Amino acid sequence: MTLFAALFSHYRRHPLQLLALALMIVLATTLWTGVHHLTDRARVSLAESERAVAGQQQLVRDDGQPVTVQDFANLRRAGLCVMPWLEVRRPPPAGRVIGVDPFAATCFGDQAPGQAGSDALNGEPFLDIGEAAQLSTNGGEGVLSLLVPQTVDPAQLPPGYQLRGFSLGPATGELGESFLLNLDALGVLVLLITALLVRSVYQLGLVQRRESFALLTRFGVPGGRVWGWLLAEMAALTALCVLPGLWLGRWLAALLGGGFGAALENLFDTPLYAVGAGGVAVPALVMGAVVLAACFADRRLLRYLPAARYVGTWPAALVGLVVGLLLVRFATVLGWLFAGIALVFVAVGVLTPRALAGMAQWRARAGEGLGKWRRRELAVVFRRLALPVVALQFAVAMVLAVQALVSTFENTFEVWLGQRLEAEFYVEVPAFVAVADGVHYLDGLAGLGDWHLVQRGRAQLESAGGTPALPQVDLFAISPVGPLVTGWTLLVAAPDAWSRLAAGEGVMVNEQLARRQGYEPGDTITFRLDGRARTLPVLGVYADYGRPAGEILTAGQVLPAAFQPRFVSFSINPGALAMDDVRQGLAAAWGTEALTARDNQSIQTLASGVFDQTFLLTRAITVLTLVLAGASLLIMGWVFFTTRVWYYRLLSVWGLTRREAANQLRWLAVALTGCVALVALPLGVWLTWVLVARINPLAFGWSLPMAVYPGFWLEMLGWCLLIGVVISLLMGRQLRGLTPAPAMANVAAGGER
């Protein structure tokens, strides 16, 4: 018999262990590859597309109408260097593409945007403009822009056109990157759970193979050779299992890509462009390294130590727990916060099995007969199944925290969005009309409900000394300040905040700006509008979810006459009138037909759907991680109980019937998984607090109310108890067979007694 055959014979005797290892590696590779592919695709596509248009500018029409192919032709005939840039939005997960004309870009020289100068047809997201136009007529939505070099003088432009900066989307600060960072953190947790589970199964196998290793040593086989074959064995298994995991991961990414793309585009103002499929080397190497490191990080098991016990360095774990909690509480940057979370998880992973085993052992002292035996046996189980127990604890805690975060955000967002969209309709004011004509028309319209004018722009914050060293912020001006906004829920506010705001006696700021600059009601804020500085008191702080920018809310009369807003609209409740009549009246007052009244209820429905798509990805990954951990504990519990079935059959020798013995095992299995669910609960609540009160404010600038959902706790407890019941049912079948007792109990696969 060859050495390989002798070593591999273990899996012929225990095929369930081989199946467990393979299944864990495949599922973990699937989960991590899916997350990695989505986040990598987003980062690469965004970086490439933004780099392509960095520093570019475009031509727009003075009358506010979109540019057309005819405009391009007229400008080229006038001798202006201009290039068409056709952005085609395709439904996710296909992603956007960009149509360019490399011949029109030749006059740009070194300033040609992106790849347009030389190899525009080389790879997505860039296509020939003809192909992009064809896509836009076959279900895609095309938006044409006309780019010009930076050297173009505005005085050289033909009449009817002006220059504007060009970018692929609004600036999002670190919101989109933080969203991707959270997905990366979720992927790291998947790798951690994978390492714990794979190591637990492999460690059990090594303990069971100790006698085989000792026999090979007596036959003269060097330990290093055995080590090499074991490493090769696991490397081959990993390679075979990683390949289908990579394919399934790509399939998972494609399945979830629609919601992920919609989330980036609609929630974070970050479009997901089409990019190449990317390589598989990184996911394969990472998963292979994690599996091999988990299995061979501790070679002491190959030196035939006594039965593997969970030996935790609990003093160091306690110190790590305290340090981690302090970091989480007082960290001011995300890096240190994540380091604190990692320390807490490591410490909890070390302490939990030891604490559970100690509690069971302590409870055994007060029991008698079978009660005493059950608790002592439960302590043994906690020590021997420490790694899968910790993995399931982490997975349940993560699911509890993510569920609470998602549910809280959905509930909070619905209320907040309903307040923001209190008006039934809004009408965007064209750029070429006089806003005052629309205000005059609405003022004189009998039967009209509540309405207000919204003007958005930018303001420059100034420090106390008057130096404009602080960042620019968004400006949100409303006039008149009426019932459409006074129902907003304020996080903190001064007395009579809304009436003072309506009188122009102060401003309100959003939570993001309040956190960054430390504003509270009663503080003064100085900001500059069109060269004019204003200093006003802060009257309140309002929630502003889903974006990173700081914002000032003020009454319209605070704005100087020369203020040039970037966006102007009316929010209108038509009251007793028909909205079509109001829209036609505004169009007549402005002398234009290009006027649209949008239904805010449809906008609210769309926004709610976007958020649902956003969290579909997170929910799917957390549920799949829980399935992985639960299935692994089920398999490990079955395997472990099977190795001790000879010991459990002694219950019959002690006078128990087969049914009574099966009931004892059922108690053990259910107590095991039930205790895991209970110890996961405080970790899940703590992780929920970290997500809503620490990570969100540091990453996004806004926080969420802390909420827990006991009904979901019971649901998770039920699932964990179900796993225990399934283990006990499988064990009931084992008790019906005949398994000879080992010659020496101390070296039996089951280990402790």
User: Higher confidence at residue 254 or residue 172?
Assistant: 254
Model pLDDT, residue 349: 86
Task: Indicate the pLDDT class of residue 499, thresholds 50, 70 and 90.
Answer: very high
Q: Is the pLDDT of residue 647 over 90?
A: no
pLDDT bin (cut points 50, 70, 90) of residue 346 is confident
Confidence bin at 575 (pLDDT 50/70/90): confident
Place of tokens 């774990």: 317
pLDDT at 553: 94
Q: Which of 547, 533, 406, 520 is nearest to 465 (CA)?
A: 533
- Residue 297's pLDDT is what? 65
Query: Which has the minimum average pLDDT: 74-78, 411-415, 673-677?
Result: 411-415
Contacts 24+ apart (CB under 8 A), 658-664: 658/735, 658/736, 661/735, 662/728, 662/731, 662/732, 662/735, 664/370, 664/373, 664/374
The pLDDT of 314-334, averaged and rounded, is 88
Structure tokens of 5?
């055959």
Cβ proximity of 637 and 674 under 8 Å: no
Q: Report, in angstroms and rounded to the nearest whole number, the Rg of the chain calculated over CA atoms.
A: 33
State residue 344's pLDDT score. 93
**685-712 residue pLDDT tens:** 998 898 888 887 887 777 777 888 888 8
Reported as type and span, the H/E element at residue 144 is strand 141-148
**pLDDT-derived band at 275, boundaries 50, 70, 90:** very low
Tokens linked to 661: 């013995």
Residue 741 has what pLDDT?
44
Q: What is the mean pLDDT of residues 133-152?
A: 72
- Give yes or no for residue 364 having a pLDDT over 90: no
| More confident of the two residues 730 and 510 | 510
Does 466 have pLDDT greater than 50?
A: yes
User: Which band of pLDDT confidence, cut at 50, 70 and 90, is reported for residue 543?
Assistant: confident
Delimit the domains of the chain by residue range: 1-53+174-305, 54-165, 310-419+600-753, 420-599
Residue 327 confidence (pLDDT): 92
Tokens found for residue 140: 């895609």
Q: Pick the most confident of 241-255, 403-417, 442-456.
A: 442-456
Structure tokens at 482: 């009426």
**Cα–chain center distance at 723:** 28
* Residue 287, pLDDT above cutoff 60: yes
| pLDDT at site 497 | 92
Taking the model in full, what pTM does it have? 0.65
Q: Percentage of the chain with pLDDT > 70?
A: 71
What is the C-alpha separation between 608 and 561, in angstroms, rounded?
Answer: 37
Read off the DSSP letter of residue 429.
P
Q: 227 with 206: CB under 8 angstroms? A: no
* Cβ atoms 452, 476 nearer than 8 A: no
CA distance 576 to 448: 6
Mean pLDDT, residues 75-88 taken together: 80
- Higher pLDDT: 54 or 30? It is 30
The residue among 620 and 521 whose pLDDT is bigger is 521
Q: What is the pLDDT of residue 478?
A: 93
Asked if the model's pLDDT at residue 186 lies above 60, the reply is yes
The Cα diameter of the chain in Å comes to 104
Residue with token string 């704005």: 559
312-321, 407-416, 618-627 — which is least confidently predicted? 618-627
Kindly report the average pLDDT of the chain as a whole number. Answer: 75
**pLDDT tier for residue 672 given thresholds of 50, 70 and 90:** confident
The pLDDT, as a whole number, for residue 219 is 74
Q: Number of helices (H) and strands (E) in the chain: give both, helices first.
A: 23, 16
Query: Once rounded to an integer, what is the mean pLDDT over residues 732-748?
Result: 48
- Residue 138: the pLDDT is 62
Cis status, amide bond into 91, omega within 30 of 0: no
Q: Answer whether residue 538 shows pLDDT above 80.
A: yes
Q: What is the pLDDT of residue 547?
A: 67
pLDDT at position 325: 93
Q: Does the pLDDT value for residue 303 go beyond 50?
A: no
Q: Is the pLDDT higher at 609 or at 74?
A: 74
Work out the average pLDDT over 358-371.
Answer: 80
Give the confidence band of 508 by pLDDT, cuts at 50, 70, 90: very high
pLDDT top residue among 344 and 741: 344
Instruction: Say if residue 146's pLDDT is above 60.
Output: yes
Q: Residue 706: name the closest of 401, 419, 418, 414 by CA.
A: 401
- At residue 641, the pLDDT reads 67
pLDDT band at 501 (very low <50, low <70, confident <90, very high): very high
Beta bridge partners of residue 529, listed in sequence order: 532
Closest by Cα among 551, 545, 548, 547 to 704:
545
**Alpha carbon distance 648, 237 (integer Å):** 33
Cα–Cα distance measured from residue 688 to residue 216, given in angstroms and rounded to the nearest whole number: 51
* Cα 259 to Cα 541, 614, 615, 659, distances in angstroms: 32, 6, 8, 50
408-427, pLDDT tens digit by residue? 877 777 777 778 788 888 88
- Position 525 scores a pLDDT of 92
> Is residue 66 over pLDDT 70?
yes
